[in-house]
Structure 1
Amino acid sequence: MLTLVLLVASACTVVLARPSLNYLEEPYATESTQAGSEEVRSAAIKRLLAVFGMDDPPAAVTHRRKQPPQYMLDLYNTVADVDGVTKDPYLLEGNTVRSFFDKLRSEQVEFRFNLSTVARTEKILTAELHLFKLRPQATLMFNRHHFYQVSVYQLLDTTKTNTTQMRKLLSSRLIPVHSNGWEVFTITQAVRSWMVDEGNNLGLHVVVQTLGGSHMDLKLIRFASGRNHHQSKQPMLVLFTDDGQRRSTTLESADPDTQVTAILAQSPMAAPTSSRSARSLDHLAEEEGVSMPCRRLPLYVDFDEIGWSGWIVSPRGYNAYHCKGSCPFPLGQNMRPTNHATVQSIINALKLIKSIETPCCVPDKLFSINLLYFDDDENVVLKQYNDMVAGSCGCH
């Protein structure tokens, strides 16, 4: 499924038929032609959504009103380049990262997160509670305590009177009194139990104590709350998961879907000006009867043109590239041929078997891309998708 955008190059012996897009170019197109084209476009967009693991696009979000957490932006920039292509496949734990804001919006140190958007089939790798520690009030700066202990508990049963039955310790450590900024606590155990039984999700409770075990003055030790502080400092749960789709890059054969391929390869949304010179060379070569050698050409997928800019944060689009050209005998090493392709080209050249065609010009290296977007609950998701960009082409 993830090789959808690369289907242009998946069958070199088939000439892809371009679906009718005349309604985009000719003002006098018939209604039936327009309806047919709309159906093709709708089918193509639906298939593209399936590539990104969605049935329907998330609801659009006004970015000026809703900003993604800085942590998620920084994480995206760490793992992806400007076009969303993965810098290093081992930088990200799993293939999905989600951020959730506290739903209680309480002034107290209790938090609850709605994880209904996480599929039960996903493997929970790591869960982190991010709390922003505020500076202590100036009048309380001079305090004999230099460190304090912060403990995060999972609430188990609020009807129990015994403290040990009400909560379970998840994480605990010492923090300087006069520090400020983000503090991160691992709460993986709690989230895994919530995914097994949604009814277990009663929330989290944070306890602040001195080294001697007595409670600290909450005016001295303050964390930003979801009610009284800016969105950039609100309590947040960050969840790293793997949906099982992460695998080593392979070049599996696939039947070409001519409608979807043509939409992506030839419609206005996929035709950047940078590829004009390459297309001009193609037309010139065809007119002169010259077959250009196998090479990589641009294939830009523009999310703005598709109408997805309302929920995708980054990238605005990406260059999937595609492979085009001939694989004539003899195959040079610059065409990166496999041994099988070399033998096939020899059989074709010698006409030993009439039905044997020349090898195909196809991707021989594929890269993943990263998408940063808002889901239906306005949580920000960073997801990595395999086999989305043709890194190089060869004769196979």
Structure 2
Amino acid sequence: MEAVLVSFFILVLLDPASLLHLSLKGRTSLRASPSEVVSEAIQKLQEVFAFGELPHNITPAKKPPQFMLELYSRVAGPDGSTKAPGILEGNVVRSFENKVLSEAGTSFFFFNISSVRRRERMLKAELRVFKWKPLGMQARYHFCRVDVYELLDSASRPWRGNLITSRLLPLHSQGWEMFNVTQTVSGWVGDDTTNHGFLVTFTLPSGNVLDTDLSGMTMQKLDSKRSYLVLFSDDGRRGVPNPYMPPTNVKETDISSSSSSDGSLHTTTHKSRSARDVHPDTCQRKPLYVDFEDIGWAGWIISPKGYNAYHCQGTCIFPMGQGLGATNHATVQSIVHALKLKKDVTTPCCVPDRLNSINLLYFDDEENVVLKQYDDMVAVSCGCH
């Protein structure tokens, strides 16, 4: 069952050149064991999803930060399908957790961003810090100044740093604060030697630096209030549009959703009566559910647990109905085949003519949470080409 599922999935996702390579390779390795076939299939899937090294030994009790869950729910439906294109800046969002304990009166942050590849184009970086309300302080002051520095080294005392940003905050309130650190972090990508972390200080109007760490780690050890560095980037996976494929934006009147037994949303394209009343063998869309647990990825993929990729199956024999989305070229080809004008001319192919993207939320091998968007992963409709 696992080998069959993965094989179907690969046939849907791989480009024609890769399929030809596998076909030719298969002719010379007919004696390959089932385990070798599955291993090669998993490797191909890993390349499609651009995971790099697969995560191992994820802490069972590890929970993703709430803001990443909220971002995923804004971008994707329960089945991972993109419901709000354009929200993400780029196609990858990474959240790096701070694991450095701060000293009294000073907040230090270090984030290991080595998983960001040099070829990625970083679009934005945010430092997310939870500011706590100071305990036991008199209400003499109502505001404090927060200064964020880039540390220039990790060994010297006193600390040396470049001021990135400053902000006045109500002293006796608490909540999440976001600081734009894009320019600084862009210099760290691909060069770990320049990344020494951040220093955050809290200063009263009197000029005195607070001797209490308001950023949380020495006051509170709640995992939900740890500080994070969030990176938005584009890793260059977006493909060139197919010139034969119509735009992917579909009007609301063209789409309806229904819940399946597994809780995922299945999208159905409404077609004309002539298109719905076609012969069972005619080109049409059919289900192809991909279960990440069957593939062995359930331990580190947070959401979704699987998705319906769908696939196109059926014939494109003349005369083709209007609902099959046949191109003029496909129509002519089907006529030439029907009239047997050329012996080597086959019927047109039943292929997706509109594709949608999906989103995955998962842990990487450093237990950082990553949100990735993948283009052209769900067949929305099929046609003859």
Pick the TM interval, shorter chain.
0.7 to 0.9
Instruction: State the 1:333 CA deviation.
Output: 2.0
1:59 matched residue in structure 2: 56
1:129 matched residue in structure 2: 127
More displaced 10-residue stretch of structure 1: 173-182 or 38-47: 173-182
1:175 matched residue in structure 2: 169
2:323 matched residue in structure 1: 334
In structure 2, list runs of 5 or more residues that go unmatched. 1-8, 24-29, 246-261, 265-278
In structure 1, list runs of 5 or more residues that go unmatched. 18-32, 254-271, 275-289
Rounded Cα–Cα distance in structure 2 between residues aligned with 1:251 and 1:56: 34
What secondary structure sits across from 1:44 in the alignment?
helix
Rounded Cα–Cα distance in structure 1 between residues aligned with 2:149 and 2:35: 54
2:102 to 95, 103, 106: 106
CA contact (8 A) 2:100 2:110 kept: yes
Rounded Cα–Cα distance in structure 1 between residues aligned with 2:312 and 2:187: 47
More helix by share: 1
1:356 to 322, 332, 345: 345
CA contact (8 A) 1:8 1:322 kept: no
1:27 matched residue in structure 2: none
CA contact (8 A) 2:353 2:382 kept: yes
More displaced 10-residue stretch of structure 1: 200-209 or 345-354: 345-354
1:217 matched residue in structure 2: 210
Identity %: 51
Instruction: State the 1:92 CA deviation.
Output: 0.7
One-letter amino acid matched to 2:96: F
Q: Is 1:324 paired with 2:322?
A: no
Instruction: State the 1:211 CA deviation.
Output: 4.5
Rounded Cα–Cα distance in structure 1 between residues aligned with 2:240 and 2:74: 21
1:6 to 3, 7, 12: 12
Instruction: State the 1:316 CA deviation.
Output: 0.5
Q: Is 1:229 paired with 2:202?
A: no
Rounded Cα–Cα distance in structure 2 between residues aligned with 1:136 and 1:150: 14
Rounded Cα–Cα distance in structure 2 between residues aligned with 1:239 and 1:395: 41
1:36 matched residue in structure 2: 33
CA 1:389/1:236 → structure 2, altered by over 3 Å: closer, same or farther?
same
CA 1:100/1:161 → structure 2, altered by over 3 Å: closer, same or farther?
closer
Q: Provide TM-score, normalisation by structure 1.
A: 0.77
Instruction: State the 1:196 CA deviation.
Output: 4.9
Residues 364-384 of structure 1: CA deviation (Å, up to 9, x unaligned): 111111111111111111111
Q: Provide TM-score, normalisation by structure 2.
A: 0.79
Residues 218-257 of structure 1: CA deviation (Å, up to 9, x unaligned): 44x722117841111011111111111124543899xxxx
CA 1:54/1:66 → structure 2, altered by over 3 Å: closer, same or farther?
same
1:387 matched residue in structure 2: 376
Instruction: State the 1:361 CA deviation.
Output: 0.7
What secondary structure sits across from 2:374 in the alignment?
strand
1:242 to 222, 234, 238: 234
Rounded Cα–Cα distance in structure 2 between residues aligned with 1:192 and 1:90: 22
CA contact (8 A) 1:249 1:366 kept: no
One-letter amino acid matched to 1:215: N
Q: How many residues align?
A: 336
What pairs up with 1:221-370 in 2 under 5 angstroms? Answer: 222-225=214-217, 228-247=220-239, 249-250=241-242, 292-370=281-359
What secondary structure sits across from 2:44 in the alignment?
helix
Instruction: State the 1:39 CA deviation.
Output: 1.1
2:142 to 146, 149, 157: 146
Relative contact order higher in (CA < 8 Å, ≥ 6 apart): 1
Residues 173-193 of structure 1: CA deviation (Å, up to 9, x unaligned): 222223211111011122112
Instruction: State the 1:319 CA deviation.
Output: 0.7
CA 1:9/1:345 → structure 2, altered by over 3 Å: closer, same or farther?
farther
Rounded Cα–Cα distance in structure 1 between residues aligned with 2:337 and 2:348: 9
What secondary structure sits across from 1:179 in the alignment?
coil
2:90 matched residue in structure 1: 94
1:260 matched residue in structure 2: none
Instruction: State the 1:113 CA deviation.
Output: 0.9
